Amino acid sequence: MTPACFQDLFSYNDWANSRVRHTAADLSDEQLDRPFDMGAGHLRGTIAHIYDAERAWYETCAGPEADTLPHNGDTRTLDDLQQASKQLSTLRRNWLATFADADLEREACYSRDQQEYAHPLSDILLHVCNHGVHHRAQAINMLRRLGKKVPTIDLLVMRIQQRKQAAMTTDLQVLGDYYAYTDWANGRVFDIAATLSDELLRHTFEMGMGCILKTLAHLRDAEQWWYENWHNGGAFEFDQIKRETTIQELHQAYTQTIADRDKYFANLADGDLDRTVTATLREGQTLTFTLGESMLQLCGHGTHHRAQIINMFRHVGAEVPKLDFIAMKRQGATA
């Protein structure tokens, strides 16, 4: 597990956060504070929460150096948050630059709900990056409902913009942890979805793919599409889920796709992650990425759409699961 991988993940995190803040920059105070039944309750609070979580976890991991950073309550304006986020990014980058690979195995201790936990730094860093993906999905939905043209913040969009730069650093251990989390989180979502009526699964929302069932199908189709690209190079046609599918049929198809992906992943070596993958987005439009970049994209894509599904669950009265990466790790620590 390499510090360079986390440096690149945080570079993506900073890029995506900045795009969200930039899009919100000309909104009025009334718009920034308009109530929404998601995230931190309004756009300003959700953007601030992303920063505050990064700051709090940096303080947990790096110690007193974090005291130089503003707290959430001191960052009322988006300009304040932009400046604080840049300061945090610089401190974190310099801190990670001192790491050897083994340093990622050091444990950081913290308490939650009167219980003590200790996790390797690698777990916490991956949690922070994934936490940002989750809440940016909420912020994007708020921006859309406030009438803004929302930015595309996929990792691979950043890589297209930065095509002349070196490929992102990826490694199998980070990806293995991220896929284990993805499968755990998707499993919990499918279990809850299975308790809902077909009417609720198809209830229309202005988010995700329009309803719970279609958004779950999109998660499976994305996994299948990338798997086909990895195997066949530039797949355009693939076996998409049919619109009339049931939740049981969808779950079965998803399970098979994940089994195929896991078998493929188990046979990879670190050097394979630098292999070029060709992806055909639509007929006549083909892009290339490294295998590792496309795998990271797929994990973040799942987190983004699960955030939408969780909000749909809330609106139909279903259980709202806690799906943080670190929550999964805490369960393992107390099992």
**pLDDT tier at 334 (50, 70, 90 boundaries)?**
very low
The pLDDT tens digits for 272-287 are 999 999 887 776 678 8
CB 225 within 8 A of CB 298: no
Res 332: pLDDT: 72
Res 330: pLDDT: 87
Residue ranges and CATH numbers for the domains of the chain are 3-153 (1.20.120.450), 172-334 (1.20.120.450)
Helices (H) and strands (E) in the chain, counts: 12, 4
**pLDDT tier at 68 (50, 70, 90 boundaries)?**
confident
CB 186 within 8 A of CB 324: no
> What average pLDDT score do residues 106-114 get?
90
Cα 51 to Cα 33: distance, rounded to the nearest angstrom: 17
Residue from 58, 258, 226 nearest 154 by CA: 226
Cα 330 to Cα 177: distance, rounded to the nearest angstrom: 14
Q: Pick 307 or 165 by higher pLDDT.
A: 307
> What average pLDDT score do residues 249-272 get?
96
Res 333: pLDDT: 47
Instruction: Please state, as a whole number, how many other Cβ atoms lie within 10 Å of the Cβ of residue 64.
Output: 7
The pLDDT tens digits for 135-144 are 999 999 999 9
Q: Where are the alpha helices (DSSP H) in 73-120?
A: 78-96
The pTM for the full model equals 0.94
